[in-house]
Structure 1
Amino acid sequence: MVKSTGTYLGGLNCQLTHGPSGQTIDTDAPKDNHGRGAAFSPTDLFCAALGSCMVTTMAIAAKNRLGRDIPGVKWEVTKEMSTDAPRRIVRIACQVWMPFPKAQDPEGILERAALACPVKKSLAPEVETPVVFHWPE
């Protein structure tokens, strides 16, 4: 079990602290919800966690099943919020760019690992999460 803590700093800003490492992350409310957008909003952080989790899970699968590391993988997540109440995330579109050809993973181990990551599996089914993998020729 991992514990994190947080402190509300005022002005719609929070500081989160990761218990084991002591690292901190600041959040700010987004511009479209009374904030300045000066840092990740809580929902931005949530969506960014999906991309990070997918690639981390891919890296674990690459190490364990392919015997290699996968440095250079890049990703992008695009968050879409509801236009009706209650305010919520309705779609997280993900793109993942691989630094090597798909021929190096002919069985699709990495894509399956990404799609089975813990964050993706924890999302409500109502949240759309399309994922596109880009492999160089």
Structure 2
Amino acid sequence: MPTVSTEYLGHLRTQAKHVASGNTIITDAPLDNHGRGEAFSPTDLTSASLGSCMMTIMGIVAERENLDLAGTTFEVTKTMAADPRRISKIEVNFTIKSNVELSEAQKQKLQNAARTCPVALSLHPDIEQLVTFEF
């Protein structure tokens, strides 16, 4: 069974459906690449996936440590290279919230978890991953 089923809607737009849940995501080409920029671009999704994966793995570690990271936020900034057109850098800036004061060891575990998430390890090594944590 496929994980995602996607239809091209025309005008540089796709609709991807998560087969198991039925949730959908629309993508649109960005303004600087012939699109309307009215939805996530595929490279936006790649960048957002990095942050979401990092947060998920930190959440797993936090649960194991009996920590609550609810309210933690992150912002992602994507930088594109021109020739060839590709993602050259993804910056992920976390603002960590916790229900308790985190020890240095706990902070290090969370940072290590983020940096070794499956998406981070799957991206091409030419894509710079700049990750910061504010505790």
Q: Could you state the TM-score of these two structures normalised by the residue count of structure 1?
A: 0.91
Aligned to 1:88: 86
How far does residue 100 in structure 1 lie from its aligned partner after superposition?
3.6
- Which structure shows the bigger proportion of residues in strand conformation? 2
Give the equivalent residue in structure 2 for 1:9. 9
Q: Would you say how many aligned residue pairs link Structure 1 and Structure 2?
A: 133
Structure 1 stretches of 4+ with a deviation exceeding 2 A read: 100-103
Give matches, 1:1-137, under 5 Å. 3-64=3-64, 66-84=65-83, 86-100=84-98, 103-107=101-105, 108-135=108-135
Q: Gapped runs of 5+ residues in structure 2?
A: none
Percent identity of paired positions between Structure 1 and Structure 2:
47
Distance of aligned partners of 1:68 and 1:101 in 2 relative to their CA distance in 1, 3 Å threshold: closer
Q: Deviations over 1:57-110 (max 9, x none)?
A: 00001112x1123111100111011122x2110100110001149941421111
Please list every run of 5 or more consecutive structure 1 residues that lacks an aligned counterpart in the other structure.
none
Q: Which amino acid aligns with 2:76?
A: V
CA RMSD of aligned residues (A): 1.7
